[in-house]
Structure 1
């Protein structure tokens, strides 16, 4: 980054948690800044999700479920859902393997947000999540989920 930027830091001790907002005119500038910040965020408690022309910072523990449908990745969190053009593989790479398990070719799940698991048809399982969603676990991935849950 060789461009000069107007950088401002505001310390607001009344906030309940740190909230970092980056405002810029150009999506290219935003991407450059986020690329510079990404190593700081690696394997930490939060991650960056690119959504359209903005960047959303989410806590990894808040991610409940993620799925790819028609080449669009949707990440469901405790607060919202975020659609991105990123891949499921790249998201999975940035998440802790002891908490997140792939449950089908196109989805992964945070085991800490599973409320109940029950049998479904043809050897599949059905997981009931903390946000009310029901997710089918493909029989190919049932063993991985059972290992992660310790059953």
Structure 2
């Protein structure tokens, strides 16, 4: 697949042209672009006292313990809700979050670098300097997502 991007100052907005010889693949690409455009970038987090509506980009990571999910925001505020990590990841239609261990997922846009740790594990460093441990079980999936592959792969 070849992707070309042309900037045309004369156009008002964005124009997408898909060309090729495989109608099925072109249709799938068009549907994916339409889906991405219409998806919401907000999450609703119901806590004991409040209901918070937050943008996906405002979330650094989420961690679960049983049926409680802790959502950590950019300002280090933590919100606790009754939800599993699996439920949270299923609600993430834009595939912004990636699981890094059995109980933790991070916002892929907040990942700044990764470094080797012990026993095949890695450390992930988020844009705010937070260090998280990335289990070796999830490394291949994370690398595929960073390279733009395997969005729907289940581990």
Alpha-carbon shift at residue 71 of structure 1 (Å): 4.3
Match of 1:101 in 2: 98
Q: Partner of 2:140: helix, strand, or coil?
A: helix
Match of 2:143 in 1: 146
State yes or no: 1:87 paired with 2:81.
no
Q: Which whole-Å CA distance do the structure 2 matches of 1:61 and 1:140 have between them?
A: 25
Query: TM-score normalised to the size of structure 1?
Result: 0.66
Question: Structure 1: which 5+ runs fail to align?
Answer: 1-41
Alignment of 1:66-77 (within 5 A): 66-69=62-65, 71-77=67-73
Match of 1:114 in 2: 111
Match of 2:123 in 1: 126
Match of 1:25 in 2: none
Match of 1:59 in 2: 55
Question: Structure 2: which 5+ runs fail to align?
Answer: 1-37, 149-155
Q: How many residues align?
A: 110
Q: Root-mean-square deviation (CA), in Å?
A: 1.9
Query: TM-score normalised to the size of structure 2?
Result: 0.65
